[in-house]
Structure 1
Amino acid sequence: MTDAPVVQTASGPVRGFWRDAGTPNASAAFLGIPFAEAPVGALRFAAPVPPEPWTDVRNATTYGATALRRDPGETLIPEPPIPGDAILNVNVFTPMSDEKLPVLVWIHGGGYTEGSPASPWYDGSRFNRDGVVTVTLSYRLGFDGFGWIEGAPHNRGVRDWIAGLEWVQQNIAAFGGDPDRVTIGGQSAGGGAVLTLLGMPGAQHLFHGALALSAALADIPVDVAKERGERLARILEIEPTLAGFRSVSESRILKTQPQAVGGRKGLGLLSGLIEDGLPWGPIIDGELVMRPAVDALASGVGSDKPLALGATDDEFTMIADQAPRALRVVPSAALLRGVLRDRGVRRAYLRANRPQRAKGSAAMVGRFVTDHVFRTLVVRVAEARRTADAETWVYAFSWVSPTKGWSCHCLDVPFWFDGLDRERVSDLAGPNPPQSLADDLHGAAVSFVTAGAPGWPAWRTEPGTARVFGGDGLPVSTTAYDDVLALV
């Protein structure tokens, strides 16, 4: 195992590198392999096009260019931006087994505007150790990937996901993976991508199971997407056409796109999520994405595929910690009145959340946003799938970060990847996060990818059934999501 591994793909040969060579945990990494041509020039704002073949061995030893162009600063997950045009690429982590191993394809999060497939948290070496080939893929972000443009295909970012998955079907066997056992997984916007794909009839042949962590759906109506695209064009003083947007530099669009959707931050971001949803993301265009994901799942799309999904208890509550002191003394009921106008629903929700309410108004508002965006979606999807007689497993991640004070957004990701020793995990999970919890979550993920079930009773065995990771009560509960039912 001294020679660098070389694999022949459909486009040409690639050279990777070994990790832990000579040990039972040896695996290979192949980074930055293009699954489509660089979306520049005549391909800017176009559907992805397969890469031109090559004959010489191509080095795949460093991460490829990312759609994330700017340094996002201090983020919960390390998200390195890498310059370059060829942003549509995959990273493959594999034990290079002679057997055909199950495959996990990971789609990164970042609100459909940020995130990077080159994050060290997404390294697949621990999945490789446990017999799973792992792929991370990139896609166009923000307006570039999801903005409405007259004369351009909608949902370019969704088309990138599909092109990446088509690459996996065509090539993963050469890396030791089984194209007939592909699970798509993702967190936050990546989890939303998973649910979107699961609800797309045209994508069903590309995967066989789905793992959605803290999923955030966009499901933007086409008329809303059109209004946002036209507003951005007005700000840029161009026509809202393909030629118009191609006349503007990428950097200028990146700088301007927040203005087209309000550019909110902090508590304004929370209210924006409640009132307007995510600013960019998959569009219900009636062509590629036919209907909202939950409606599609309820109709039976994807019902032949196992799904595991869940959320952390307080995804966004820590943002509410920034609330001014004066706001913190306002009663929870008064704060929620503006966003939860139905009096009966508001009272039922507050009754169901007395323990959270006792932590203060900021905690209650943060929990409401968490429930509105993430936790109600878990229940809606599980119930939609129950209607369609589909196998669905639900979890709740309840372990509290000692540094953030909440079971917050992204906290569970290094546990799922068994990567507690990776860069900056201690910033989020503290200096001594429990390895036993990582063993439980990672073990559940491996079981799901390899066997199609994570190891606890499915939702439909008794609606409400969920595996609670890191909580104080029983590991399997039928009440973990009862506190959101008033909102469903």
Structure 2
Amino acid sequence: MNESPIAQTVEGPVRGIRRSDDLAFLGIPYAAPPTGRRRFLPPQPVDPWTDPLDATAYGATPQRREEPNAIIPEPSVPGAATLNLNVFTPALEGALPVLVWIHGGGYSAGSAASPWYDGRTFSRDGVVTVSISYRLGFDGFGVIDGVPDNRGVRDWIAALEWVQRNVAAFGGDPGRVTIAGQSAGGGAVLTLFGMPSAQHLFHAGMSFSGALGDLPRDLVRRRSIGLAEMAGTEPTLDGFRAVKERELTRHQYKASLLGKTGLAATTATLVDGLPWGPVIDGELIAQPTPESLAAGVGADKPLLLGATDDEFTMAFDSAPRWLRWVPVRLALRVVEKAGSVRRAWHRANRGRRTGPALGRYVSDQVFRSLVLRVAEVRRDAGTWVYRFAWRSPVNGWAHHCLDVPFWFDCLDEPHVPKMAGDHPPLALADEMHTAAVAFVRDGAPGWPAWRTEPGITRVFGDQPALSRSAYDDALPLV
């Protein structure tokens, strides 16, 4: 009974860990190490093996060092075989629904090895969980002439293809795969929903605080050329391969600013999009994701999406004290140039102090307005919307990442109190996790769909629990 479990994948057998309530298989390669001549190429097949592969420890992560201000604990693991995944399952027999988790981190950071992404609570409730790694930053999303764009996206696809080939060996049903993620991971879900070539790889999706890439190729190409200049190399495949990964990583954020400094650098993400991320390449991603969704791509699949109330409001907690004396309508000029948009948003958000108002505007621009846009273009599809409104006693905000341990029902994890206090509401975690499990299992989370009652939103952490006006303050940005 205490023997290590062995699962037989198409590529070869893997040996995992038998835990008290489930089985875990960690660091299984779904593609060959992206090193040497494979560096900057699309994911390549692994060489098959015959002896059981040790899958008892997390594999190497594309993130090489942990972000100092990261909210979610996401460890960096050294090594070359970074294209790997983790499987958590109740048993090796059966045909259970499958959750594939794509981590966040702005497409430039993050790690599938986070204890918050451990699938033990989903195993408890009859769901097989797979968490995947993918190439980050320039390695995953830079433009290099002569090799395909969107290598990080191609990594997602390769991991999902692995799930289709192998998840049955872990007790999962390849015909019931729900993709899910938070922040960049939530954006990945929306990106995949909008890709015709990916539709056969999953059957539903959950996008938590989704942040889209949808970056113009020409912009990313200019950023990539600037990165080559900073690294002292030519902007070619051989040139980039000649530079060590850590050297490119060191310069990649500054290169994305294209020489912008000061205020222009501060607002660059609002104007130009994220530093690195999925690129509209005209091939894999043919058009902006909302346009693809509006054209009906992915309309046959149920989608759950939403955001927290104050995604990045806390970023302005450390703003200069003098900012509080600046009228909101004037301060908004920093983040929004269109006067009509500023005035409309200000009318919908009266009563906010300047710092929180700027933070809420950024939250609305990047996250909350996207929820409304996607829900509206999918009006006739199966779409469910939520809003996370519980405020942390640590800083007073319902901020970015705060909802993740609630979805995973892991409030007992040691890193949670730093963000959510010593006594976060267990009942709220139970409600949210139960909704996620219901969605993965049945394709519906337990409240009315947007198409049946337009505007209907499940509010977690506030009353009323169901609202038709939960996102009205973000409407001016839609």
State TM-score, norm by structure 2: 0.98
Distance 1:231 1:52, change over 3 A: same
Is residue 392 from structure 1 mapped to residue 383 from structure 2 by the alignment? yes
Contact kept, 8 Å, 1:303 with 1:385, in 2: the verdict is yes
**In the alignment, does 2:477 pair up with 1:484?**
no
Distance between the aligned counterparts of 1:108 and 1:344, measured in 2?
36
Give the alignment partner of residue 454 of structure 2, picking from 463, 472, 482: 463
Rounded to whole Å, the distance in 1 between the matches of 2:342 and 2:180 is 34
Q: Which residue of 1 aligns with 2:424?
A: 433
RMSD between aligned residues: 1.5
Deviation at 1:264, TM superposition (A): 9.0
Q: Deviations over 1:97-127 (max 9, x none)?
A: 5320000000000000000000000000000
Superposition pairs of residues 227-266 of structure 1, within 5 angstroms:
227-262=222-257
Aligned length: 477
Aligned amino acid, residue 178 of structure 2: T
Q: Which residue of the other structure, out of 269, 272, 281, is the alignment partner of 1:273?
A: 269
Q: Which amino acid aligns with 1:470?
A: G
1:127-276, aligned counterparts within 5 Å? 127-262=122-257, 271-276=267-272
Say if 2:7 and 2:92, in contact at 8 Å, map to a contact too. no
Is the CA contact 2:436–2:445 (under 8 Å) kept in the aligned structure 1?
yes
Confirm or deny: 8 A CA contact 2:132 2:159 kept in the other structure: yes
**Residue 338 of structure 1, CA deviation:** 3.6
> What is the CA–CA distance in structure 2 between the aligned matches of 1:53 and 1:134, rounded to whole Å?
23
Deviation of 1:240 (Å): 1.0
Query: Residues 367-386 of structure 1 correspond to what in structure 2 (within 5 A)?
Result: 367-386=360-379
Shift of residue 268, structure 1, vs aligned partner: 7.5
- Checking the alignment, whether the CA contact within 8 Å between 1:270 and 1:369 is kept in structure 2 is no
Matching residue of 1:424? 415
Gaps of 5+ in 1: 21-25
Are the aligned partners of 2:92 and 2:169 in contact in 1 as well (CA < 8 Å)?
A: no
Distance 1:346 1:227 in 2: 30
CA 268–329 in structure 1, closer or farther in 2 if over 3 Å, else same:
farther
CA contact (8 A) 1:314 1:367 kept: yes
Counterpart residue type for residue 451 of structure 1: D
* Map of 1:23 onto structure 2: none
**How big is each residue's C-alpha offset from its partner over 1:357-386, in whole Å with a ceiling of 9 and x where there is no partner?**
1xx100000000000000000000001111
Higher mean C-alpha deviation, range 114-123 or range 230-239? 230-239
> Which moves more between the two structures, 233-242 or 147-156?
233-242
Q: Is 1:414 aligned to residue 409 of structure 2?
A: no
One of 41, 44, 63 as aligned partner of 1:46: 41
SS in 2 for 1:461: coil
Query: How far apart are the structure 2 equivalents of 1:396 and 1:363?
Result: 18
1:266 CA displacement: 11
Q: Which residue of 2 aligns with 1:342?
A: 338
The answer to whether the aligner puts 1:12 opposite 2:15 as a matched pair is no
**Partner of residue 439 from structure 2, selected from 442, 448, 461:** 448
> Contact 1:267 / 1:323 at 8 angstroms: preserved in 2?
no
1:460 partner SS: coil
> Cα distance, 1:175 vs. partner?
0.2
> 1:352 is matched with which residue?
348
| Separation in 1, partners of 2:261, 2:99 | 33
Q: The residue matched to 2:267 in structure 1 has which SS?
A: helix
**Residue by residue, what CA displacement relative to the aligned partner does 1:437-464 show, whole Å, maximum 9, x if unpaired?**
0011000000000000000011112221
Task: State the SS of the aligned residue for 1:337.
Answer: helix
The residue type equivalent to 1:331 in the other structure is P
User: TM-score, normalized by length of structure 1?
Assistant: 0.96
Letter of the 1:92 partner, please give it: V
CA distance in 1, matches of 2:377, 2:410: 33
Deviates more, 1:409-418 or 1:67-76: 67-76
Sort the Cα spacing of 1:114 and 1:65 in 2 relative to 1 into closer, same or farther, 3 A. same
* 2:7 is the counterpart of 1:3: no
Shift in alpha-carbon separation, 1:451–1:367, aligned structure 2, 3 A: same
- Indicate the SS of the match to 1:340: coil
Identity %: 61
Aligned pair 1:297/2:298, yes or no? no
Output one character per residue of 1:380-412: Cα deviation in whole Å (capped at 9) or x when no partner: 0001111xx211000000000111210000000
The letter for the 1-side match of 2:288 is P
SS at match of 1:459: coil
Whether contact under 8 Å (1:267, 1:319) holds in the other structure is: no
In 2, Cα distance between equivalents of 1:271 and 1:180: 43
